[in-house]
Amino acid sequence: MPRRLLCVLMSAGLALGTAVGVTQPAHATDPVVVDGGGRANAGAAPGARSGAASTSADIPAGYTVRGIDVSSHDHNLGPINWPQVAAGGAKFAYIKATEGRTYLNPYFAEDYAAAKAAGLLVGAYHFARPDSRDPITEANFFIDKAQFAKDSQTLVPMVDIEWPYWSGAPTCYGLTPTEMSTWIRAFTDQVKARIGRPVMIYTNTNYWNPCTGNDASFGANPLDIAGYTTTRPPLPSGWTTETIWQYAAGNPSVPGDYSQNVFNGTYTDLTKLTGAPVPSPNLALRSWTNGKYVSADGRGTLPLIANGPAIGSWEKFTLINNADGSVSLRANINGKYVSADGRGTLPLIANGPAISTWEKFTLINNADGSVSLRANINGKYVSADGRGTLPLIASAPAINTWEKFDRFAF
């Protein structure tokens, strides 16, 4: 979500918004949604359409897990290259789904699916329009369109609460601090009632504190703080730490320049935001191409092959979640790690004594319930070649039937 940069001009910006004093269309049935309008850009002056270029922004010290956020504005120059985003080091993405009570991002569905296919953890966000005076309808519209799922790749949804983006709008959408807090409470409560998880709140202190009257009652919601500074900006009332920090604004006029975020924690910590049940680390894989289980033949001395009729000792693996978001597989039969030998040019074999680049994979959760593995060493997908009659090898450029597996715990 290219977020409106709410942080820079606290006193000057707010004073300007107050001085303008344009009357809000009272209780308008459907407030105008300008060009689909809002994007998460809360680190700049009210109404700004762009900010510091994210491509040149250094990753803040002390953070290691990076992500981006996007909206329809990021399609100004064409489709988003999600595999390239993942290859650049992003581990998660938030994508604008909706705004107000009627606007649906026309690119949301394709971006959401493509980001997941690239291996990112993905969440949807809603650009709040408190001027609708109808938080329940907004919340329901958002969740109806957000494609939230309690799986291992879907992050909790987020609501973007920031200054209006159109010229002449009142700073706080014409709401008093009490009205604003009441609106946010109703929206967040409705989202939680629908999905069973607290929604993340994206905002900036220079907006939140004046517009809610320093409301400190939302600290149980995860916080995405916007601030385009070299150190994390001050937090709004009620929060003692941030979950995500949007530290640089994107520029939709520059290819690949998306708003930049960092997660406050490890990749394993980030996965907890998905709300998915913790999967068993014990793993067996059954190939879609022949219905047989992947086996570490010869007690791991031979390449992996999908020829096991049932789950025995040779078909059991332990799934390791690495700190960088990748996974590794350790064969239970010999305690060695599955390796994409020869930079992926040779069949997979359980012979790695430790985890290095050759032993790292990206686990893809496909929409049909299957899983696929992409070797980090060459970016290719693991395939059960020859309909499973040949050893597994990381050679496929895309996911087809030979690259799909069912995952079993034991």
Number of structural domains the chain divides into: 2
Q: How far apart are CA 372 and CA 402, in angstroms?
A: 10
Domain that residue 336 falls in: 282-408
Whether 2 is in a domain gets the answer no
Instruction: Spell out a b/e string for 336-345, using b for 16 or more CB atoms within 10 Å of the CB, else e.
Output: bbbbbbeebe
> Catalytic pick from 111, 131, 160, 257?
160
Active site residue 257: no
Q: How far apart are CA 43 and CA 275, in angstroms?
A: 29
- CATH assignment of the domain containing 17: 3.20.20.80
**Are 388 and 256 members of one domain?**
no
Whether 333 is in a domain gets the answer yes
> Catalytic pick from 74, 99, 162, 341?
162
**Are 312 and 260 members of one domain?**
no
Domain limit, last residue, from 239, 274, 309:
274
Q: How far apart are CA 241 and CA 335, in angstroms?
A: 40
Active site residue 74: no
Domain limit, last residue, from 258, 274, 290:
274
**Are 57 and 174 members of one domain?**
yes
Q: In a structure prediction context, what are the per-residue pLDDT tens digits for the chain, which is 410 residues long?
A: 544 434 333 333 333 232 322 223 333 344 555 455 666 665 554 433 233 333 436 899 999 999 999 999 999 999 999 999 999 999 999 999 999 999 999 999 999 999 999 999 999 999 999 999 999 999 999 999 999 998 889 999 999 999 898 888 998 999 999 999 999 999 999 999 999 899 999 999 999 999 999 999 999 999 999 999 889 999 999 999 999 999 999 999 999 999 999 999 999 899 989 977 666 788 999 999 999 999 998 888 899 999 999 999 999 999 998 877 889 999 999 999 999 988 878 999 999 999 999 999 999 988 888 999 999 999 999 999 888 789 999 999 999 999 999 999 87
**Are 296 and 269 members of one domain?**
no
Active site residue 69: yes
| Residues near 182 by beta carbon (within 8 Å), at least 6 away in sequence | none
- CATH assignment of the domain containing 356: 2.80.10.50
